[in-house]
Amino acid sequence: MKGRDDIESYLLRMDLPYEEIGQDTWMINSGQKDQNLVVRLASPVAVFRCKIMDVPEKGREDLFRLLLELNIADLLHGAYGIEGSAIVLSDALELENLDFNEFQATVEDMSLAVANHQAKLSRFKKSA
């Protein structure tokens, strides 16, 4: 089973700016405020999570519909969801067989989703 040394070696191999923010928890710095990808070991999985925005007061139904559409059409790994009062993008991969290619694909898919969906989601941020 993979562990913290493996995750750190994957982050180094990808040459990503990151910092360890807790025990078995790393934050990959995206360069955008409040949109950093967090990777946490929670045996038997590695959990990937990125806060996208707060749930707005207005336009929720349209936002929720858009998120469901993006889940099915654009995401290979992970999905959008609601955690408390936040919209998050998350994924989990089993540690038992986690390899570099799977780790890299998940990080890149989530990063691409955040970048590609920002324009569509930004209209809901204004109504928060």
pLDDT digits (tens, 9 = 90+) for 10-41: 999 999 899 999 999 999 986 666 678 999 99
φ and ψ of 95, to 5 deg:
-75, -30
Predicted TM-score (pTM) of the model is 0.89
Q: Is the pLDDT score of 42 beyond 70?
A: yes
Q: What's the pLDDT at 77?
A: 77
Q: What's the pLDDT at 128?
A: 45
List, in order, residues 6 or more apart from 70 with CB less than 8 Å away: 80, 113, 117, 120
Average pLDDT of span 71-83: 91
Average pLDDT of span 58-72: 96
Q: What's the pLDDT at 1?
A: 84
Judge whether 41 and 95 are in contact, CB under 8 Å: yes
Q: How many CB atoms lie within 10 A of CB 48?
A: 22
Please tell me the least confidently modeled range out of 37-41, 42-46, 121-125: 121-125
Average pLDDT of span 105-126: 89
Q: Is the pLDDT score of 53 beyond 60?
A: yes
Helix (H, G, I), strand (E, B) or coil at 18: strand
Domains present along the chain, CATH in parentheses: 4-125 (3.30.1460.10)
